[in-house]
Amino acid sequence: MSADRGDGARGGPEPASRAVTIAAVTAPFTRDLDECLAAISRLVDGARRRGVDLLVLPEGALGGYLRALPPRGDDLAPRGGPPALDPDGPEITRLAAIAGDMVVCAGYAERDGRYRYNSAVCVHGDGVLGRHRKVHQPLGESLAYEAGRSFTAFDSPLGRMGMMICYDKAFPESGRSLALAGADIIACLSAWPASRTHAADDIAADRWRHRFDLYDQVRALENQVVWVSSNQAGTFGSLRFVGNAKIVHPDGSVLASTGTGAGTAVATVDVTAALRAARSGLNHLRDRRGASYEKQCLLAGEPYDPRRAARPAAPRPTAEHGSRPSRPAGPAH
């Protein structure tokens, strides 16, 4: 695990090398949970044959994403959306069993009492390693889901990790809060569609495909982390997804990509060496001046406290389930 924490300063002996084989998936997923789990099992089996340690599946890998975004579609009503799953239910247990000795991240619709969340879970054969609820909601998605409230780094057999979902990556604070909490690998799970207002015949020329790729490279570079980006593929309802799952080096270079079609991008990264190389000159976490802008940015959603502006952010708890909004941001589900 990297010794960079908070301000990026190193402490103690240099960590050992960590060669990690990472796979990022572009694939279609539907409402049929059994079909989704069978597809995930095939993807895990194929990845295992390639020596993969970390497999990142898309947003909505268990049960699919919304069929449409406002103003069309009935997915904004509870009956039309993806099946809402218990975060500790049988589907998550089965996902962990499929993962075995591999670390697997997958998206799903989470049920927590009256609330529904667009969530991601990171599992291993031993159980759940980390969770995330999508914080930033585009185009009326708040009518289908409640918003998450934080970004939480967690420990895994591969080192310290973090997750976010789709539109979360459009906000620099998302990745930065995870990097400050010590995440060396960040997984971004997406169901990122092509432009609906300026559709391109060739999806490779689509402007939202360009933005999807740009965010991936910039977030990896500005935080100097290993970035793993997955996405849905094909068409679901009225949405056409841009694909382009990829692994990005901490220097912002793309190590492997699926392109616009379905597939699995695989790359082996020595995480310790990659972070060391990226941070050996300009170390963005070390050199940042939080006191100059934290008050305005309200990083990680916390009120500004000048006493903490000069010290590193502490790692956050591994679970987000204990918190929920005092009142729903949208209809209760």
* 65 located within any domain: yes
Partners of residue 249 on adjacent β-strands:
none
pLDDT at 280: 95
CATH number at residue 30: 3.60.110.10
* 307 located within any domain: no
Coil, strand or helix at 157: coil
* 325 located within any domain: no
Sequence length of the chain is 333
* 167 located within any domain: yes
Residues of the domain holding 186: 19-301
Dihedral through CA 99, CA 102, CA 106, CA 112, nearest 10? 70
* 27 located within any domain: yes
Whole-structure pTM value: 0.84
Mean pLDDT (whole number) for 301-329: 43
pLDDT at 315: 44
- 301-323 as b/e: b if 16+ CB within 10 A: eeeeeeeeeeebbebbeeebeee
d(CA 15, CA 160): 13
Are 47 and 23 a contacting pair, CB within 8 Å?
A: yes
pLDDT tens for 37-47 read 999 999 999 99
* 12 located within any domain: no
* 281 located within any domain: yes
- Could you tell me which residues come within 8 angstroms of residue 25 by beta carbon, excluding any fewer than 6 positions away? 43, 55, 56, 57, 58, 230, 245, 258, 263, 264
Domain count, the chain: 1
* 10 located within any domain: no
Structure tokens at 55: 């497999």
pLDDT tens for 10-60 read 444 556 778 999 999 999 999 999 999 999 999 999 999 999 999 999 999
Structure tokens at 38: 């069978």
pLDDT at 146: 94
How many C-beta atoms lie closer than 10 Å to residue 75's C-beta? 23
Which is nearest to 165 in space by CA: 235, 84, 225, 106?
106
Mean pLDDT (whole number) for 231-245: 95
